[in-house]
Chain A
Amino acid sequence: MNIDYGRKLALPMTVAFCATLVAGVARVEASPAFTAAKTCRKTISVQGRNYAKKRLSLLLNCVDRLLKCEIQLEVDATNPNACRDLAIKSCNARLGAGADTTLSKAQAAFDSKSATACLVFDLPSMLSNGPGGLWYANDAECAGEPDIPSLVDCIRENVEEEVDATVAQVKPRAALLLSNVGLGDEFPNIPLPPTVDVEINSTAPGSGTLVDPGTINVPVGSALRITGNPDLSCGGGASNGRLTITVGTQELTIKEPWGPNEVAIFGPFTATGTIAYSIDFKDQACDDVASGDVDVVP
């Protein structure tokens, strides 16, 4: 009985032994160069897609939060302040320029994992368009990079352009919403529509009296971009002046210190017509209001 059992086992064991040998030989056949090429390519592909998904998700989620506040204000006249505060805090933590934001960490993870995985394969092989190369020289923007970390960085930046283009298509209000919370400069590939720029000024430095902007003409398809002139500051003390601007159903506030980084962008306006605006200025004891019309013209 025991002998039969042993015979029955003999054939499968032999087959398993041979299979192991064959697998071992097959594994031996893969050269270090092939393994290095596979590892480098696969890591960039997987990490690149992970990063692209993360960036898309972070951007869309942030814009979602911001959009909700604005739509509820515009359609339902709901006070947006609490909603905006939460959304801005969340967006800054995830998309801000700091090294500790979620997006920065995702960028660093792609860069370091990809560069590490490709070190063995080396730069000339990555760029090579010849047999066994990974053909990165086909990417005209990245072909001249001097080392692997720079090449990986360049690939990531190109991927970012595509991701941001998708955000701009799927959420066309993204550029304005991000600009209005100070994140627009971080995402130049989500383009702003054309704008008409209006700077709010006072009749004299510190006078507290606004120069009446009069009727503001904005072409159809353009947005209205409002900033404050530094001469607006009045009353001394802390820099806590603010302009609350209302254009139709939209309302935004910009705060001291005044200048090009503190902007309120309205619209863009897609149909001709007249929309009322008001600008409410408060700083210490200074308090003034200007109002008029935005004429949306062909």
Chain B
Amino acid sequence: MNRNKILVAALAAALILQTGSFASAATSKELLNCQKQFESQVRSFTNVMYLRLYGCAQKVVECKLADEIDAVDPTTCLARAATLCGATPTKVADALASKAAKVVQRCGLIPLAELEQYVEGLGFFNVSAGCSAGSVTDLVNCVFADARCSTERELFLIDPRAQDSLTTAGIAASFPCVAP
């Protein structure tokens, strides 16, 4: 129900953007609220994502290390890990969609051009140009995609076996930035 409300609000915001029916420039409060929401939702999403991926990689690598160092048969351990990991791509995708919708709900009230400008705006000019964003929704999706990729790379830097672990769990294709 909540997700439906968010989607409706996001669509409404997108509609406003399409029709361009804004009375005036964004207020300072609207700009700061948008920035705050952006930051808060990206942080929340990257936390959820990291914990999910880390949890999966952790389970798999411990099965493999036990096998490699102590010759413990990993079959049962890996089967358990695969069960835990299997839901990760869907959970991460759901978290991304719901958190991005919350940002669009808040920032969609501000014209894209005002989010892009640095002075009297939030400075998304280069970010927006970098992903050819044509709407606030595009911009939000773009920032979330980049944050997602950064978090995946971060996991790989911290745990260089993570890519192998996710491959073993059969979910590496969903997380292509967990890589050198």
- Chain A residues in the interface with B (C-beta under 8 A): 29-31, 33-34, 37-38, 41-42, 44-45, 48-49, 52-53, 56-57, 60, 64, 67-68, 71-72, 74-76, 131-132, 134-140, 155, 158-159, 162-163, 165-166, 169-173, 176, 193, 221, 223, 248-250, 266-271
B119 contact from A31, A56, A221, A267, Cβ within 8 A? A267
Bound-state CA distance A103–B49 (Å) is: 24
* Contact (Cβ within 8 A) B124 A172: yes
* Contact (Cβ within 8 A) B39 A171: yes
Count the B residues whose beta carbon is within 8 Å of the partner chain — how many? 50
- Say how far B32's CB is from chain A's closest CB, in angstroms: 6
Q: Is the interface of B mostly helix, strand, loop or mixed?
A: helix
B138 at the interface (CB under 8 A from A): no
B154 contact from A52, A138, A176, A221, Cβ within 8 A? A52
* Contact (Cβ within 8 A) A64 B123: no
B36 at the interface (CB under 8 A from A): yes
Bound-state CA distance A176–B66 (Å) is: 49
* Contact (Cβ within 8 A) A173 B122: yes
Q: Is the interface of A mostly helix, strand, loop or mixed?
A: helix
* Contact (Cβ within 8 A) A75 B31: yes
The segment out of B11-19, B68-76, B79-87 that lies at the interface is B68-76
16 cross-chain CB contacts under 8 A: A29-B70, A31-B70, A41-B65, A72-B28, A75-B26, A76-B28, A132-B69, A162-B151, A162-B154, A163-B150, A163-B154, A166-B42, A166-B146, A171-B35, A267-B119, A270-B117
* Contact (Cβ within 8 A) B118 A268: yes
Bound-state CA distance A159–B38 (Å) is: 22
B52 at the interface (CB under 8 A from A): no
* Contact (Cβ within 8 A) B31 A159: no
- Say how far A33's CB is from chain B's closest CB, in angstroms: 5
- Asked whether A34 and B61 contact (CB < 8 A) given A56-B43, A172-B125, the answer is no
B180 contact from A30, A44, A140, Cβ within 8 A? A140
Closest to B50 in A: A49
* Contact (Cβ within 8 A) B66 A34: yes
B126 at the interface (CB under 8 A from A): yes
